[in-house]
Amino acid sequence: MVYIRQKLEKALRKGQDTAKTIEGRLRSLAQSKEQKELIDLVVRMDSMQAERISAVNDLAIQSMIMQKTDSSMSKLTKYEMLAEKLIEGRLDDKDREQLEQEYRIVKNQFHYHLIPLKNIHTVVSWNSLLLPKINSSPSTFVEST
């Protein structure tokens, strides 16, 4: 994952450098005020699109986290229900044995689902890490108005 992330960041930097080069060429070729405004618009649209895609990706990540949390909470509810029935003890041997088997299964599933939840909520999205870097990088072009 780290290698892929580094490769992605390198590709993004290269793309950003290419975009700055193209922007510089376009600005040097722009002759009218309208052409300069169009270049400004295209540059702003690019950063706005990156922010929009980042927000959509972050929402998708949060949705996956919420689904996993909901699934774990339903497992917890089932775990509690089975535990209560076993504690009450008003069961014949066959029902008790079946509930104990279900209890063990749900308990194992619960631990399987609960442990990853501890790590999910501390994960920071790459989008939230990359966009500030991209947005704070100094622009090499100064508008002349």
pLDDT of residue 93: 83
Residues with Cβ within 8 Å of 2's Cβ and at least 6 positions away in sequence, in order, are: none
- With H, G, I as helix, E, B as strand and everything else as coil, classify residue 31: coil
Mean pLDDT of 118-122: 60
Q: Which uninterrupted H or E stretch holds 70?
A: helix 33-88
Domain ranges of the chain: 2-136
pLDDT for residue 145 is more than 70: no
With tokens 């990359």, the residue in question is 130
Find how far residue 51's CA is from the centre of its chain: 13
Find how far residue 33's CA is from the centre of its chain: 40
Mean pLDDT of 95-124: 73
pLDDT for residue 61 is more than 90: no
Q: Are 71 and 110 in contact (CB under 8 A)?
A: no
pLDDT for residue 142 is more than 50: no
Mean pLDDT of 20-35: 92
pLDDT of residue 127: 64
pLDDT confidence bin for 36, thresholds 50/70/90:
very high
